[in-house]
Copies of this chain bind each other. A is one copy, B any other.
Amino acid sequence: MEETIRCDHMDETLIKQMMETLPGDEPISRMSAVFQALQSETRLRILFLLTNKDMCVCELNYALDVTQSAVSHSLRTLRQLDLVRGKKEGRYAIYHIADDHVRLLIEMCRQHVTEEHK
């Protein structure tokens, strides 16, 4: 139906100022991609496991209830967003959390879902 409303009490100029403080399309898009990656239960579990100890793919595969393929796909997503980093050691690929930023992100979210409401 109607696409945009302009309510009576709105200070149009003020709102336009607020719009200019918004991050641009590209930062928003990247943030969206990061949260998108963190939304997967498998990828969350991978990050929690890597919080304790650097691990190779087959260790993660052993610890989680998904195929090795799924683990690799998940790691690829996390790698592309620089949430984890991997190094090749012989035939193993050892992964680790990219930085404390990532630890804080998931820890903060854990606190949010854990704490009592209000």
Residues of A at under 8 Å CB distance from B? 2-7, 9-10, 12, 14-15, 18-19, 21-23, 27-32, 34-36, 38-41, 44-45, 48-49, 52-53, 55-56, 58-59, 61-63, 67-68, 82, 92, 101-102, 104-106, 108-114, 117
A41 to B63, CA, bound (A): 33
Chain B residues near A30: list those with CB within 8 A: 113
Chain B residues near A102: list those with CB within 8 A: 112
Chain B residues near A106: list those with CB within 8 A: 31
SS class, residues of chain A in contact with chain B: helix
Say whether, besides A31-B109, A101-B112, A6 and B62 are in contact (CB < 8 Å): yes
B5 touches A68 (CB 8 A): yes
